[in-house]
Amino acid sequence: MIQITETQSPGFYLSFHELCHCTNTSPVYMLELIDHEIAIPAKGTAEEEWEFNITTRVLVERALRLHNDLDIDWVDIKLILNLLDEITELKIENRNLKQQLNRFLIG
């Protein structure tokens, strides 16, 4: 879970260097993640202007674990992260539908 108090960035954004620092990632690795659209800047057009939504930290950490622990290529990691997001959305939708069904059956 993200601890928002760890960053000093106003508005819950991280600069490029803050994101590298809090994920223990080299700038070279981070540029690869950006090239593969795993980490996408929310603001700015150049590295010194880039600001990332704080939730990007979670994506970067997941991507790094997949890459380091399972030796998965960056291109495949983007697909895996998308599939994991879809699974999470489906679980939430399933839970909500079960709650609606229970209210219908009980009511």
Whether residue 24 lies inside any domain: the answer is: yes
How far apart CA 22 and CA 49 sit, in angstroms, is: 18
How far apart CA 58 and CA 25 sit, in angstroms, is: 13
The two tokens of residue 13 are: 């954004």
pTM value is: 0.74
Q: Which pLDDT score is estimated for 106?
A: 85
Whether residue 1 lies inside any domain: the answer is: no
Whether residue 76 lies inside any domain: the answer is: yes
Arithmetic mean of pLDDT, 88-92: 97
Instruction: Let me know: does 52 contact 14? Beta carbons within 8 Å.
Output: yes
Arithmetic mean of pLDDT, 58-84: 94
Q: Which domain holds residue 70?
A: 8-106
* pLDDT of 10 over the 70 cut: no
Q: For residue range 36-46, what is the model confidence (pLDDT) as tens digits? A: 999 999 999 99
Whether residue 89 lies inside any domain: the answer is: yes
How far apart CA 107 and CA 91 sit, in angstroms, is: 24
Phi, psi angle pair for 48, to nearest 5° = -70, -15
Our count of domains for the chain comes to 1
Whether residue 37 lies inside any domain: the answer is: yes
